[in-house]
Amino acid sequence: SVEKPIAAITTALELSELTISSLGPASSSQLLYKVLNVSKKSRKAKFKFNEYIENIPTLLFERFAIDPVIEQYNFMFPVYTALKKYYEIGNELAWCKAFRTATGLSDDIELSPIDLSTQLYRESLLLKCFK
């Protein structure tokens, strides 16, 4: 069983890889919710955004296709931007600052796993539209 923060990221990426239409299946939210419900239980209902990013195993970063279009539209791809900054910079304070500068968003907002997963899923589908 996978930890919820990691499951939120991997589930979104895997569902987006399987999606062939630009809108995705009508049941995408339910699918994400179902998978996250069977992942390892956590005492926390929400996690800070930077906790999601910093808890991703290094091996998973190889799966992220960090497209150059993300750099042009950081505000449209906040999760991908955070992943990119963390992967490039690594240091907690430095990547958080770079993320805030690039997106104008806070790195310490609290999100439920389903909210983060849904956001990353939508970003992944949007990224496919640029190709």
Query: What length does the chain have?
Result: 131
Residue pLDDT, tens place only, 56-84: 877 777 666 677 888 899 999 999 999 88
Cβ burial 76-88 (10 Å sphere, 16+ → b, else e): bbbbbbbbbbbbe
What proportion of the chain, given as a percentage, has pLDDT over 90?
A: 31
- Tell me the residue range of the domain where 84 lies: 4-129
Confidence at residue 1, expressed as pLDDT on a 0 to 100 scale: 45
Domain count, the chain: 1
Residue pLDDT, tens place only, 38-54: 666 767 788 899 988 98
Place of tokens 């993300």: 70
Average pLDDT over residues 8-35: 81
- Reduced to 3 states (helix: H, G, I; strand: E, B; else coil), residue 111 is strand
Residue pLDDT, tens place only, 29-39: 888 887 777 66
Place of tokens 């310490």: 108
Q: Tell me how far apart the alpha carbons of residues 3 and 5 are, in angstroms, rounded to a whole number.
A: 6
